[in-house]
Amino acid sequence: MKIQIRHAMKIIWPSILSSLLLLLSSATATADPTTISPALLDILRAAPTAVDYPRDDAVWISKDMSIIIDPSGTYTVNEHKLLKILNERGMAAAQWTIPYDTACETLTINCARTLLDGKAYPIDPQQVRESAIYPGINWYDTMVVKRFPLPAVAVGAVLEVDTTLHRLTPRVPGAFSTRLYLQQRYPMREAHWQISSPARMPLTIRFSGQKLPPVQHVLDGERHCYDWTIPQASALRIDELDAPGVEELTPTALITSLTDWQPVVRWYEGISAGKDTLTDVLRQVALTRTHDCTTTVERITVLHKVVRELPYIASEMGDLSDIPHAAIEVAQHNYGDCKDKATLLRALLQAVGISSDYVLVRTTNRGKLDHQQYGPDEFNHVLLVAYTSQRDYYLDATIADAPADALPPGVDGAEGLIIHGKGTLVSLPASAAVDNSLDARINITVKTDYSATGKVTLTLTGINAMLQRGSLARLPIDRYRDALQDYLATRLGPDIAVNAVTVNNLHAPEYPLRITADFSSPTYLQPADDKLAGRLSSFAYLPNQYRAIKTRNFPFLLPEASSLSEETTIALPNTLIITRLPTPIKFHSAIGDYADKISARGSTISYSCRWSRKRGVFSPKMLESFSQWSGVLAQEGRNQLQFYLRAK
């Protein structure tokens, strides 16, 4: 919802505290760092204490940000912060880190000091360190982090830090857009924002996630000035299971000078121009690899595999978070991030006559794409859409575990912007439950001493396979058994030991992942009063983490649909009689469906289970249904799927 901007002849600061802090901020660069002004002393005396915030380790007395935007789209950000330490845990905040990109940004620390008992303790300039975020990776050697410890830190101390960051080159020339997150890890006593833009660059400011603060706007003929204050903001706590990502739940100011997506398209076309140039080397690679292919789909599949198997190394800061490297550079360096891999794949596809466009994507963990927040900040991922006479193919070669015909977690079902013409917003294909499947086949033989041996075969597809591949692909073969021991033992029964594991198609994501394991248990059947008890295997089992939850504040997020089928056969000694089996159940809800069958014939127990789960964001009102669903998967009310026997 767009805010109503109030116009005034001049800016009227919302509080005396804001005006004092702005004065303090402007004076920090020139003031004696060991001197505390009377105005600041008054603020410190009135600062809150641990009694006011018993759940928190620290509190922002104030956070003040000003952004001055130039006509070119470059900008300067000044931040002045006062953070009070409330307990010993809060003292960790004295270790300050600020990342930035030296290729397109400058960072100045105007003031950094600790205020305690009426005295100021400035940082030692010799302790300010600057180090590479990606040491040894020459593409990203401009990405650095500035670190410094604030001195004399104690409970009750106030940390004061004032910084200026200057963006030297615009992202979108002549434009500005950003998201400002208005809630933090620590509560804020008061926070104030001020943005100044050229007269020809009016801003649209919208808020999400909380009551809208009043925004004051002044146009003096040469500059727009917008400012707002948020008093008494609580700490951001997202401690509920399956909640959406932080960016979806954080109160946010959405700011842009753009009025449609076309400038974003032109911007990305500009920074990617020529990067996909097809060299002789790349043409030869593409033609050689696809020599035996007879269809367009085969060519896409082969070239996608060439690119996805390159190591993934990424930068999410500064210009390097936007600008792809040239395709030939990616091939020569043998690594890249999403946009680098997309560029290399684009060049290789071009060599075999397949056209494509970039697609900027907002991954699902970042929350919904705001269709009116025009600007590159809305996107955090890049892939390709390839065009064929049969259909369009969305291709993500970022991770090695995702085949050409499937999108990885976070991208599956996300929204994106096709970089072509005026730009087209699209919803990427979302996989169905049957596409992300787990099929489990278990055979168990129980011996006369009540021990057991067995074999389990798991077949995984889609995102289920991608996630399991990711956990195994970097392990040596002799570590597979250890890696799968807990996962299998939890689901197969009591005292299970995995003896041997075979993994097929681990590095071939075009095919289902198949895991076969031999296992044994010395005490598969255990005494239960005058009977014996065993437990059916269940790969549908999940701990019921919602059992004790009575209320919920945030929505539930199920990022992808999935399905399971299970068949278990237990062969018992003919010296035993089955006296009781769990009762089969069915369950249907907006979240998913579950059904099982349990039967006995002679000395053999057969158990089958089917369940499917939907994807989506479900309201907190769904808590009861979620709890019931989790209870079914935890086998509550059926004694953990136990069956009972006695000797003949």
Q: 506-552 pLDDT, tens per residue?
A: 999 999 999 999 999 999 999 988 899 999 999 987 778 888 888 89
- For residue 620, the model assigns a pLDDT of 92
* Average pLDDT, integer, range 462-479: 94
- For residue 638, the model assigns a pLDDT of 67
The kind and range of the H/E element at 249 are: helix 246-249
* Average pLDDT, integer, range 612-636: 87
Report the residue count for the chain: 648
- For residue 120, the model assigns a pLDDT of 96
- 115 versus 212: the higher-pLDDT residue is 115
Say whether 397 sits in a helix, a strand or coil.
coil
Quickly state the pLDDT bin for 641 (edges 50, 70, 90).
Answer: confident
- For the chain, what percent of residues have pLDDT higher than 70? 93
Domains and CATH numbers, the chain: 13-195 (2.60.40.3140), 263-430 (3.10.620.30), 434-647 (2.60.120.1130)
* Average pLDDT, integer, range 609-617: 93
- For residue 210, the model assigns a pLDDT of 66
Report the C-alpha gap between 148 and 130 in whole angstroms: 9
- For residue 315, the model assigns a pLDDT of 65
Whether the per-residue pLDDT at 3 is higher than 60: the answer is no
Report the C-alpha gap between 292 and 289 in whole angstroms: 8
Report the C-alpha gap between 159 and 86 in whole angstroms: 12
- For residue 18, the model assigns a pLDDT of 42
Quickly state the pLDDT bin for 493 (edges 50, 70, 90).
Answer: confident
Quickly state the pLDDT bin for 317 (edges 50, 70, 90).
Answer: low
Whether the per-residue pLDDT at 13 is higher than 70: the answer is no
- For residue 61, the model assigns a pLDDT of 96
Contacts of residue 24, defined as CB under 8 A and 6 or more positions apart, other chains included, come to 37, 39, 40, 80
pTM: 0.88
Sign of CA dihedral 621, 625, 629, 635: positive
Whether the per-residue pLDDT at 404 is higher than 80: the answer is yes
Say whether 144 sits in a helix, a strand or coil.
strand
- Of 150, 154, 182, 157, give the one whose Cα is nearest residue 63: 182
Q: 28-75 pLDDT, tens per residue?
A: 544 689 999 999 999 999 999 999 999 999 999 999 999 999 999 999
Report the C-alpha gap between 224 and 384 in whole angstroms: 39
Among 207-211, 246-250, 324-328, the range scoring the smallest mean pLDDT is 207-211
- For residue 637, the model assigns a pLDDT of 64
Q: 334-355 pLDDT, tens per residue?
A: 989 999 999 999 999 999 999 9
Whether the per-residue pLDDT at 576 is higher than 70: the answer is yes
Q: What is the mean pLDDT of the chain?
A: 90
Whether the per-residue pLDDT at 14 is higher than 70: the answer is no
Contact between 166 and 63 under an 8 Å Cβ cutoff? The reply is no
Beta-sheet pairing, 415-418 with 424-427: antiparallel
- For residue 544, the model assigns a pLDDT of 80
Q: What is the dihedral of CA 317, 223, 201, 180, to 10 degrees?
A: 40
- For residue 547, the model assigns a pLDDT of 80
Report the C-alpha gap between 393 and 385 in whole angstroms: 5
